[in-house]
A and B are shown apart, each in its own frame.
Chain A
């Protein structure tokens, strides 16, 4: 391709005319190719094989590609210059907006911890507004929720004091990333389902069991909070801060354990995982039947198959692992879609895109 001059002073009128003529000639040939392809698409009754392979010859592809590049060069040449008297060219773009300096220090970590506390408070407030927990276990669950909210509020106050002591500004909102990417979609799936899941898919109804889903959401959040503090502790710069953070972590994991005991009534399955029991004291293995189909009763078989089709919701355990885990927390909520697939999200401990940096005053709008 002809080299494009980059300075107005270097361009003669003749050279400019020549380049425009060249672009125009190329464009005419390219337009022919485009017309031929479009005609093939919309006018000729082609066979399936022709549609797959015969519309675009190699030359057509090259011509259309060439047309794109030619038009791009023309548009760039006609575009405004934003650099003195330099002509714009393909690839020219306004300079990227630079973010403010984002040092990850103790203030950022404490503000991030605060954001998790407020996200938990926000989630419990949403659950209380929905009213789905009213009367569950004779009101016991609401008593738990009130206590958890009081604990989270207390934690947020401690974190705010520590942030201030370090010279930072306390954070008083939920975690931007956690709420927008995970909590809001999960709550929406529980409350509204998904009326428009995409082309050809059937609408997904609201949750088939909102109490189950809200409790599982709370459990996931408390588990995530505990794991997050466990992650933050080694990152904090002083033993004093680590000590404060781990005290809060212990509270969070106890919330998580109590919710697991409430959600999962199996014993000892609600206390400790069955695989841990098996490894602690090997038990005689029970043979399990894997075939459920009953040829003599096809209707029953269909019912079993449909029930099995919905995404399984893993029952939580109060002590899920021998050591505290910092792995992603899996949350499965909502009614299944037409294939029985429920919403599955992995809640992850804070990372670079979910930290509350010092330059943030509030959550950025999308």
Chain B
């Protein structure tokens, strides 16, 4: 039923570890987008001149902003380091070619959303909950855009456009 006491505002000790893990994913995501930006000729790949490179720049900036927001929550306890294992596992897909990179970006955004949803299922501090909620509702939109950039528009593509039942939750522990 109802909670008998108000939840804490500031992150609990468990939240601090969790938010630090999430920050590691965001810094990795930023680095992956940067690698894709650097290693692929997006202007040449964007044959319809739709401005792919602009979108990638905006998403790269967004992930950097999310990592900075986690720093704001964690203060001196923020790890401020990317998850190297996570980065290494994905960087090849991000740098192979434009098609591969767009799919890798789509998968990354789907994974992050599912991971943050799982994090909200255990997080207690309301400040962290509020921040993570605002990131989820932005990254969910990223997925729809990335599907659309891959040319998905038809009714048959709706599951991809709406990222239905996609994404795998990443480890939430510090080992992740």
A and B associate: yes
Q: Which chain B residue has the least Cβ–Cβ distance from A242?
A: B120
Q: Are B50 and A267 in contact (CB under 8 A)?
A: yes
Q: In the complex, what distance in Å separates the CA atom of A139 from the CA atom of B168?
A: 33
Do the beta carbons of B148 and A318 come within 8 Å of each other?
yes
Chain B 53-76 per-residue mask, 1 if CB under 8 angstroms from chain A, else 0: 111011011100110010000000
- The chain B residue sitting closest to A251, CB to CB, is B162
Interface flag for A230 (CB, 8 Å): yes
| A-side contacts of B1, CB under 8 Å | 166-167
Q: How far apart sit A249 and B134, CA to CA, in the bound complex (Å)?
A: 10
Verify if A255 is at the interface (C-beta below 8 Å from B).
yes
Residues of A within 8 A of B96 (CB): none
Knowing A242-B129, A243-B118, A323-B135 are in contact, say whether A250-B3 is a contact too (CB < 8 A): no
In the complex, what distance in Å separates the CA atom of A257 from the CA atom of B139?
Answer: 11
Query: Which of these, A272, A279, A326, contacts B55 with CB under 8 Å?
Result: A272
> Are A249 and B51 in touch, CB under 8 angstroms?
no
Which residues from A are CB-within-8-Å of B57?
277, 280-281
Flag if B126 contacts A272 (CB, 8 Å).
no
B113 contacts the other chain (Cβ, under 8 Å)? yes
Which residues of the other chain, A, contact B121 by a CB distance below 8 angstroms? 239-240, 242-243
Within the assembled complex, what's the spacing in Å between the Cα atoms of A263 and B130? 30
Q: Is the CB of A277 within 8 A of B144?
A: no
Q: Return A244 CB to nearest CB of chain B, in Å.
A: 9
- Please choose the segment from A78-86, A91-99, A140-148, A304-312 that sits at the chain B interface, where 4 or more of its residues have CB less than 8 A away: A140-148
Q: What are the residues of chain B within 8 A of A267 when measuring CB–CB?
A: 48, 50-51
Question: When A237-B2, A250-B113, A254-B144 are in contact, do A243 and B60 touch as well, CB less than 8 Å?
Answer: no
Whether A329 sits at the interface, judged by CB under 8 Å, is no
Name the segment of B21-29, B87-95, B99-107, B153-161 touching the other chain. B153-161
Q: Is the CB of A144 within 8 A of B51?
A: no
Q: In angstroms, how far is the closest chain A Cβ from the Cβ of B5?
A: 10
Binary interface encoding of chain B residues 109-148 relative to chain A, with 1 for a CB under 8 A from any of its CBs, else 0: 0000100111011111010011001111110111111001
- Is there contact, CB below 8 Å, between A246 and B133? yes
From A105, A143, A268, residue with most partner B Cβ within 10 Å? A268
Q: Chain A 184-215, CB within 8 Å of chain B: the 1/0 string? A: 00000000000000000000000000000000
Tell me how far the C-beta of B71 lies from the nearest C-beta in chain A, rounded to whole angstroms: 15
**CB–CB A257/B141 < 8 A:** yes
Encoded as 1 (CB less than 8 Å from any B CB) or 0, chain A from 230 to 252 comes to 10011001111011001101110
Would you call B108 an interface residue if the criterion is a C-beta within 8 Å of the partner chain's C-beta atoms?
no
CA distance A238 to B4 in the complex (A): 11
Cβ of B151: which chain A residues have Cβ within 8 Å of it?
A: none
Residues of B within 8 Å of A322, CB to CB, are 61-62, 65, 138
Least CB distance from A326 to B in Å reads 8
Contact A319 B141 (CB under 8 A): yes
A102 interface residue (CB < 8 Å to B)? no
Write out the residue numbers on chain A whose beta carbons fall within 8 Å of the beta carbon of B137: 226-227, 229-230, 246, 249-250, 253, 323-324
A280 and B58 contact, Cβ closer than 8 Å, known pairs A143-B155, A250-B136 = yes
Q: In the complex, what residue of chain B is closest to A232 when comparing beta carbons?
A: B133
CB distance B61 to A268 under 8 Å?
Answer: no
Residues of B contacting A166 in the complex (Cβ-Cβ under 8 angstroms): 1-2
Chain B 147-176 residues near chain A, CB threshold 8 A = 148-149, 153-155, 158, 161-163
Residue among A253, A271, A277, A324 with the most chain B CB within 10 A?
A271
Contacts of B122 in A (CB 8 A): 239
Q: Give the residues in chain A near B53, CB-CB below 8 Å.
A: 281
What is A's interface to B at a CB cutoff of 8 Å?
105-106, 140, 143-144, 147, 151, 166-167, 226-227, 229-230, 233-234, 237-240, 242-243, 246-247, 249-251, 253-258, 261, 267-268, 271-272, 276-277, 279-281, 318-319, 321-326
Chain B contact residues, CB within 8 Å of chain A: 1-3, 7, 48, 50-55, 57-58, 60-62, 65-66, 69, 113, 116-118, 120-124, 126, 129-130, 133-138, 140-145, 148-149, 153-155, 158, 161-163
Nearest 8 pairs between A and B by C-beta?
A324-B137, A268-B51, A280-B57, A267-B50, A243-B121, A143-B155, A257-B144, A250-B140
In the complex, besides A261-B144, A280-B58, 19 extra interface pairs with C-beta distance below 8 angstroms are: A106-B2, A166-B1, A166-B2, A237-B2, A237-B7, A243-B117, A243-B121, A246-B116, A250-B136, A253-B137, A271-B55, A271-B145, A271-B148, A277-B58, A279-B61, A318-B148, A319-B58, A324-B135, A325-B134
19 A–B contacts from the bound complex (CB under 8 Å): A166-B2, A233-B133, A249-B140, A250-B140, A254-B140, A256-B141, A257-B145, A258-B148, A261-B144, A261-B148, A271-B55, A272-B54, A276-B61, A280-B58, A318-B144, A319-B62, A319-B141, A323-B66, A323-B135
